[in-house]
Amino acid sequence: MFHRQGPTLFELARQALSSVEHGYDLLAPKFEYTPFRTPDPVLRTSMEQVGPPGSIDRALDLCCGTGAAMRFLRPLCRQEVVGVDLSRGMLDEAQQRLADAPGEARITLVQGNALELSYASEFDVVTSFGAFGHILEQDEPRLVEVISRALRPGGRFVFVTAHPPSALNPGYWLAKGFNAAMRVRNALWNPPFVMYYLTFLVPRACELLEAQGFEVEVRDGLMPPPFTPFSIVIATKKASGARAPP
């Protein structure tokens, strides 16, 4: 539908009638040819904000899919880059695709739910791209809590989101229409497929992160066209108990 090697409309419909996990298992072999895969220019620009090669020890990419972000994260890490995803199929693709990823850091792929992780003070950086729409609004505080726990004091959560669009923007109504259709689908059909647009936008993300004790910086205008409307958010976990130098 989107590309010669991408999924057909029928395959996408089948995916949308499955659970998130099974849907992505079905989509995995063709995922790279869909617009759901975060484009490289977005990932490259985001990782430039993280720092130079070899500047951190360990990073975690949540909802890593086929490993697109891990490919950019690996050279930044001295020790390990971990990717977590619900879908075994997506992780299998990631394993293959990351075989020639630049860098020396160990690559670890874990099947799991981003909302149920128990990492504690293990990572310098946590990232997540293109997946907030799969987290229900009521679960967002839990996601932020999991991320905060996983980071070392001073560690950063780096991600891309957008400011709320104007209601004059036709895309706004398209997204609202899609969300309404998804709510109807989920009311009528089991298992649910959680995917909603316009979630975890800048104001909501800042509110939740600040409530969890992060210092939040929103960097606008860094993305190359056509991605310029997107913001890079860097949320730093405050080093608790750290004292200002005398």
Ligand X SMILES: C[S@@+](CC[C@H](N)C(=O)[O-])C[C@H]1O[C@@H](n2cnc3c(N)ncnc32)[C@H](O)[C@@H]1O
Comparing CB distances to ligand X, the nearer of 40 and 220 is 40
Task: Quote the least distance from Cβ 90 to ligand X, whole Å.
Answer: 4
Comparing CB distances to ligand X, the nearer of 194 and 206 is 194
Comparing CB distances to ligand X, the nearer of 75 and 242 is 75
The helix or strand, by DSSP H or E, that contains position 22, with its residue range, turns out to be helix 20-27
Alpha-helix residue ranges (DSSP H) falling in the chain: 9-16, 20-27, 40-50, 68-73, 88-97, 140-150, 170-188, 202-211
Tokens 């849907």 correspond to what residue? Answer: 23
How would you classify the pairing of strands 106-111 and 77-85? parallel
Q: Answer whether 3's CB lies under 8 Å from 9's CB.
A: no
Alpha-helix residue ranges (DSSP H) falling in 88-240: 88-97, 140-150, 170-188, 202-211
Task: Quote the least distance from Cβ 128 to ligand X, whole Å.
Answer: 7
Task: Quote the least distance from Cβ 16 to ligand X, whole Å.
Answer: 13
Q: How is residue 72 written in tokens? A: 């950019």
Comparing CB distances to ligand X, the nearer of 56 and 68 is 68
**Strands of the sheet with 214-219, listed across from one edge:** 106-111, 77-85, 56-62, 123-128, 151-162, 230-237, 214-219
Task: Quote the least distance from Cβ 211 to ligand X, whole Å.
Answer: 21
Task: Quote the least distance from Cβ 141 to ligand X, whole Å.
Answer: 14
Comparing CB distances to ligand X, the nearer of 151 and 195 is 195
Q: How is residue 8 written in tokens? A: 């057909």
Q: Which spans of this chain sit near ligand X (rule: CB under 6 A)?
A: 20, 24, 36-38, 63-65, 68-69, 84-87, 90, 113-115, 129-131, 134
User: What is residue 31's three-state secondary structure?
Assistant: helix
Comparing CB distances to ligand X, the nearer of 85 and 124 is 85
Task: Quote the least distance from Cβ 121 to ligand X, whole Å.
Answer: 21
Tokens 């609202």 correspond to what residue? Answer: 176
Cβ-closest position to ligand X: 65
